[in-house]
Amino acid sequence: MNEPINNLGDLEKRFRAHQWVQLLFATVMVVLPFFLAPAYPGEDRVALGGWRIPPVCPHRVLFMSSCPGCGLIRSFTALVHGQISESYAYHRLGIPLFLIIAFQIPFRLYLLKTGSQGYSKRIEAFIYRPVPFVIAILVINWLISVWA
């Protein structure tokens, strides 16, 4: 159960912990594709070294169909290897989502440097207001690909 926060020091620690988690996620999502080999034409697996990574999407494994995020890792991997058209083919939103995630790295580093004093309502609105729209666009994109 969540305990009440007693002082501002606890708030600052939680704020910084959140920034570290976000920074770690963004860094992995941006750096990992550089170590992966793009999928072969007509295949849905990327490779790490010589090992073809099996599908990791639980939705795909359980239901044998794609989910709104299916193809993003392949799209990111193709993008960082300069395969722009393949990146778009794997997921239409892969390129803008990769850029949004990549932007998180300097942004989270800034917040770690400045602490919660660097965080304002304007920044909060800039970061969190678009989230429902991004989710809606992912779902609409997925519905289009399912019905096409």
From residue 2, alpha-carbon distances to 20, 54, 100 in Å are 20, 37, 31
Q: What share of residues in the chain are helix, strand, coil (percent, to 5)?
A: 70, 5, 30
Task: Tell me the average pLDDT across 107-124.
Answer: 90
Q: Show me where the domains of the chain are located.
A: 8-147
Task: Tell me the average pLDDT across 87-111.
Answer: 94
C-alpha 24 chain-centroid distance:
11
pTM, entire model: 0.84
Q: Give me the chain's average pLDDT, please.
A: 88
Shortest CA distance to 134 belongs to which of 105, 99, 106, 110?
A: 99
Least confident of 6-10, 19-23, 48-52, 93-97: 6-10
The angle subtended at Cα 56 by Cα 88 and Cα 84, nearest 5°, is 15
Q: In this predicted model, what pLDDT tens digit does every residue of 41-57 receive, in sequence order?
A: 777 788 888 888 877 77
Q: What is the pLDDT of residue 116?
A: 87
